[in-house]
Amino acid sequence: AQSVAQPEDQVNVAEGNPLTVKCTYSVSGNPYLFWYVQYPNRGLQFLLKYITGDNLVKGSYGFEAEFNKSQTSFHLKKPSALVSDSALYFCAVRTTNTDKLIFGTGTRLQVFP
Amino acid sequence: DGGITQSPKYLFRKEGQNVTLSCEQNLNHDAMYWYRQDPGQGLRLIYYSQIVNDFQKGDIAEGYSVSREKKESFPLTVTSAQKNPTAFYLCASSIGPLESNEQYFGPGTRLTVT
């Protein structure tokens, strides 16, 4: 069965510090990986995706993610966190074997001033 | 939230009543999706449609129904058979059903059933 794990329910970071939100996946076949962000009482916004090629993917709002095939991970990163980055972040995966996008349970990022 | 609209934003119903949630997109996307979001559980797929006049059950379709008569519209009906309907419902669309296509989400409808 395909799955996505976000091992941390919450990540706390001081403004200006680098942030990492972790994601690991388990699939059969090549993964297509996505990150989304959700602000309170809003829909999800697409941040970035990995399809193929360069393992470092750059996305919206200064976020990037690194695909690591050997560790089956796709961690989200940002060099310098902003208070406005505080939100709920979802990792998701899909493969050619399925019609469905599988979501992790989400990680709440809290950036303190 | 792109070109996807969901209405209403908040919806209150009595137990035993069916209710229909609206989802409209002006992105000319072929594929549309309905998800349910509960605290601590991420998103769960209810129904999806890859093309007009066709749709498939997702992981938690029991107690729900959909239609896809127009490309831009994908309404979701929560029936009285749904045992725990109170949740945040999200509609999404993608340009096509390919696995590499990202999904774009509407602002959501929060349904409360008492």
A58 interface with B at CB cutoff 8 Å: no
In 3D, which of A91, A113, A71 has the Cα closest to residue A20?
Answer: A91
> pLDDT by residue (tens digit) across A62-76?
999 999 999 999 999
Indicate yes or no: CB of B105 within 8 angstroms of CB of A41.
no
In 3D, which of A35, A7, A23, A17 has the Cα closest to residue A82?
Answer: A17
In 3D, which of B33, B99, B97, B59 has the Cα closest to residue A95?
Answer: B99
Indicate yes or no: CB of B42 within 8 angstroms of CB of A105.
yes
The answer on pLDDT for B1 being more than 70 is no
Partner residue opposite A103 with nearest CB, options B43, B106, B108: B43
> Rounded distance, CA A38 to CA A32, Å?
20
In 3D, which of B1, B68, B59 has the Cα closest to residue B31?
Answer: B68
A44-57 residues labelled b (16+ CB within 10 A) or e (exposed): bbbbbbbbeeeeeb
Q: Mind listing the domains of chain A with CATH numbers?
A: 3-112 (2.60.40.10)
Which residues of chain B lie closer than 8 angstroms to A41, CB-CB? 108, 110
> pLDDT by residue (tens digit) across A15-60?
999 999 999 999 988 899 999 999 988 899 999 999 988 999 999 9
Which residues of chain B lie closer than 8 angstroms to A99, CB-CB? 48, 50, 56, 97
Indicate yes or no: CB of B43 within 8 angstroms of CB of A32.
no
